[in-house]
Amino acid sequence: MRVFRGFQHPGIAPACALTIGNFDGVHRGHQAMLALLKNEAHHRGLPSCVLTFEPHPRDYFAEVAGKSSLAPARISTLRDKLTELEQCGIDQVVVLRFNARLAAQSPEAFIQEVLREGLGVRYVLVGDDFRFGARRLGDYAMLDAAGQAQGFDVARMNSYEVSYPHAPHCVSSLPPEGAGAALGRPGGTPGLRVSSSAVREALAAGHMEMAAQLLGRPYSLSGHVVHGRKLGRELGATAPHRGDGFRTLNLRFSHWKPAAAGIFAVRVWGLGDKPLPGVANMGVRPSLDPSDVNGGRVLLETHCLEWPAALGPEGAYGKIIRVELLHKLHDELRYTSLDALTAGIAKDCEDARAFFASAPSLHGQTHRQTTRDRI
């Protein structure tokens, strides 16, 4: 898969079959759309292309308005989004920077400058709620009319639904009463509409099984292991300065509003031939002094319950790992002392081990590895 920032590159295909969206999480609805796009592209002899945006448009408008509450929680990083798009078999991804110019661009100009002149679209597939252009004035009908006038085909896919018999009340993305059958829903079975909003709600509520059902895989995050204070390795160590306590793998994220937060039982990929069970803290670690170098930063700190001896104490730094968040243990807690923090981590490790003991198939289940860093 080829990745381009913007469309002013000689390597971009001169014509393509295209879909457009944020694709946050690349959930099962996205996957169904991408499968349709691939089939249509193959039939037409065109490369499949995804046009996506960074930052998320709602992030941009939240910053402009000075209202952080308007920004959505982010399900995936750009790296993870590109990894999943590649797994779906997409040939080309174009990442457009969402800025003031793009926000002010009229729907007509977007069609002409981006779709026609920039990407040479021959076929465009969009969702049933697709809007585009300044003030979201463009819709499917406008795009379809432009296609008929300018010689490219336009299609749309209905909402995708999955059957989930125990959907908690936290997820509000159920279809309206009387809605017709949609792709992905077994005939006559009440369905849960798959959307990024539904995934965010499931993650915020700690319903990791539901999130996995919506995503089609366990929820995960990947990144480079970075250095931290190395405080964890001294907590619970067998002797002072031994460094064999709760050694952690630290992943740092630039976005300040993650979709999931708390303490989780996890699996770690990328440190060996099989996944490693662990326990992880996703969030800002309220027990840290705010003046600490990592105070207030969003980190995923993972302690592997089985540390590979071959790595030694420093062997994981710089590696790209992927951490699957399988089961939420509890929200982040503020501890008043290092002794209390040590006891809390030890209890979390016990609870994570109990979770894996209750689901032994998770321990060694084969799953794909993280692809190389592309950004």
186 Cβ contact list (under 8 Å, min separation 6): 163
pLDDT grade for 225, boundaries at 50, 70 and 90 = very high
Q: What is the pLDDT of residue 241?
A: 47
Structural domains in the chain, sorted by start: 2-157 (3.40.50.620), 161-212 (no CATH), 220-364 (2.40.30.30)
> Please, which pLDDT band fits residue 273 given cuts at 50, 70 and 90?
confident
Give the mean pLDDT of 301-305. Answer: 93
Whether the CB-CB separation of 244 and 237 falls below 8 Å is answered with: yes
Maximum Cα–Cα distance across the chain: 76
pLDDT digits 0-9 by tens, 131-148 = 999 999 999 999 999 999
- Angle, in degrees to the nearest 10, between helices 208-215 and 196-204: 160
Give the pLDDT confidence of 313-345 residue by residue, as tens digits: 788 888 999 999 999 999 998 888 888 888 899
**158-216 residue pLDDT tens:** 988 887 665 544 444 433 333 333 334 444 445 788 999 999 999 999 999 999 999 99
pLDDT tier, 371 (very low <50, low <70, confident <90, very high otherwise): very low
Q: What is the pLDDT of residues 55-105, one digit of tens each?
A: 999 999 999 999 988 899 999 999 999 999 999 999 999 999 999 999 999
SS3 (DSSP) at 327 = strand
